[in-house]
């Protein structure tokens, strides 16, 4: 492998990095739109968008401009002071949503950590310490802090980290009866991704979200929507809850908000926000001027109705392309699911657990796609995807499947 600037290669990762990841064999060095190039100049068509982060693609001109303009003015002042970009951003988010107040932090996991802490504090303040139970779904993913892996319903992420935070129960996604049985007066919050991402690209049924809203109201519990992956235009609405017509009490947002610059937000109502007062929660970097300036510009673009309409039409085209692939390889795929530009090509039972072999072959063919669980090939491309990208991705995926079948 050619030695790049500084002489680092993929081997350097194994030598110096804590091995919590097993990255690809190549190292991307440049990106534009939906294309990336590695150290050797090889081009890849990138339909991962950095795991649903790069809504506007790699290095979009408008965001580079916002970042560099702010970089020359003010980066960071700490939360002893507020700053203009963050105030503008908070006002925009509130004006566009159910929320009255916003808390900024740096990642989806931190936004969820804040949401869960806020829910417990709010319930404790208003109803006493016994109202502390959190209900969430199996296969959910809410982040990697100890609280968020515990609320996320995936044992593989909690194993070995016990003792875990207590009073967290998991129920099957989209099962209204299970929700009814699990939600009682001791519940402070019910947490859900309106479209489950990591768990396998599973949209919630509208009746399920409505039932959760009703159960939360009956039991004075807060409804928390984790829109870290499915929000901000990903399914063709500014936020996914708008598609469902069910408003949460708390919503978390991250990923696309900074188009790759680490910034996240927890949005809530005045009634709930009151439980946090100076000193109850905080962060050093959250809402710094640099991140907020980037997010302001991202938000201005993503929130345009024409931009969101385009996500819906490009989502329909990508879905049709994936359905053609599924129809042509009925042995391998059972179908396509998801919403907007959050789509999954689902493996048939016969090939259970083998989706990773296809994504690895796709990478060799020059196409970057993701997994969601073990049986779903996940497509969460930049929302600016064009017809030519969809056509090229279909061609490369077919090549990958044919090569894999021969291997």
Residues taking part in catalysis: 141, 226, 255
Query: What spatial distance separates the first Cα and last Cα of the chain, rounded to whole Å?
Result: 25
Round to whole Å and give the CA distance between 193 and 175.
Answer: 14
Nearest residue to the partner ligand PLP, using Cβ: 108
With respect to ligand PLP, which residue has the nearer C-beta, 34 or 254?
254
Give the footprint of ligand PLP on this chain (CB under 6 A).
51, 107-109, 112, 141-143, 193, 197-198, 226, 228-229, 254
Nearest approach, Cβ of residue 228 and ligand PLP (Å): 4
Pinpoint the alpha helices (H) of 266-333: 270-273, 289-302, 305-328
Q: How far is the CB of 97 from ligand PLP (least distance, A)?
A: 17
Q: Is 91 helix (H, G, I), strand (E, B) or coil?
A: helix
Least Å from the CB of residue 406 to ligand PLP? 33
Q: Which distant-in-sequence residues (6+ apart) come within 8 Å of 85 by Cβ?
A: 70, 289, 292, 293, 296
Q: CA angle, 188 as apex, 187 and 191 as ends, to 5°?
A: 95
- Sign, CA dihedral 148-150-156-157, equals positive
What lies within 8 Å, CB to CB, of 336 at 6+ separation is: 319, 322, 323, 326, 343, 344, 345, 346
We find the least distance from the C-beta atom of residue 266 to ligand PLP, in angstroms, to be 12
**Closest to ligand PLP by CB, 236 or 258:** 258
3-class DSSP assignment, residue 328: helix
**Of 33 and 260, CB closest to ligand PLP:** 260
Indicate the residue among 39 and 286 with the shorter CB distance to ligand PLP.
286
CB atoms within 10 A of CB 296: 17
CB of 172 to ligand PLP, least distance (A): 18
State which residue, 229 or 268, has the beta carbon closest to ligand PLP: 229
């Amino acid at each position: 492998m050619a030695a790049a600037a500084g002489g680092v290669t993929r081997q350097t990762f194994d030598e110096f990095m804590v091995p919590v990841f097993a990255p690809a064999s190549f190292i991307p060095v440049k990106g534009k739109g939906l294309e990336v190039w590695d150290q050797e100049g090889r081009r890849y068509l990138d339909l991962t968008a950095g795991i649903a982060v790069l809504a506007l693609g790699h290095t979009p001109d408008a965001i580079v401009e916002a970042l560099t303009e702010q970089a020359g003015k003010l980066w960071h002042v700490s939360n002893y002071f507020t700053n203009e970009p963050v105030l503008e951003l908070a006002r925009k988010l509130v004006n566009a949503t159910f929320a009255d107040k916003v808390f900024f932090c740096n990642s989806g996991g931190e936004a969820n950590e804040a949401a869960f802490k806020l829910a417990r504090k709010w319930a404790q303040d208003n109803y006493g310490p016994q109202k502390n139970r959190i209900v969430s779904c199996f296969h959910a993913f809410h982040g990697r802090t100890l609280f968020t892996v515990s609320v996320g319903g995936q044992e593989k992420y909690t194993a070995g980290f016990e003792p875990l935070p207590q009073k967290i129960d998991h129920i099957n996604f989209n099962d209204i009866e299970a929700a009814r049985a699990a939600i009682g007066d001791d519940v402070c919050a019910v947490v859900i991704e309106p479209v489950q991402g990591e768990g396998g690209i599973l949209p919630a049924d509208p009746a399920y979200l409505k039932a959760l809203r009703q159960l939360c109201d009956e039991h004075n519990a807060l409804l928390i929507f984790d829109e870290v992956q499915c929000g901000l235009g990903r399914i063709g609405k500014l936020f996914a809850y708008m598609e469902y017509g069910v408003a949460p009490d708390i919503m978390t947002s991250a990923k696309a908000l900074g188009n790759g610059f680490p910034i996240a937000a927890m949005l809530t109502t005045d009634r709930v926000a009151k439980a946090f007062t100076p000193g109850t929660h905080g962060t050093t970097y959250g809402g710094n001027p640099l991140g907020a300036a980037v997010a302001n510009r991202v938000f201005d673009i993503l929130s345009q109705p024409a931009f969101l309409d385009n996500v819906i039409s490009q989502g329909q085209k990508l879905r049709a392309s994936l359905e053609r692939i599924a129809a042509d390889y009925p042995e391998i795929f059972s179908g396509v699911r998801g919403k907007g530009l959050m789509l999954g090509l689902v493996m048939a039972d016969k090939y259970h657990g083998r989706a990773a072999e296809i994504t690895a072959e796709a990478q060799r063919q020059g196409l970057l796609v993701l997994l969601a669980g073990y049986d779903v090939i996940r497509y969460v491309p930049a929302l600016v995807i064009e017809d030519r990208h969809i056509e090229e991705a279909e061609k490369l995926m077919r090549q990958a499947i044919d090569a894999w079948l021969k291997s």
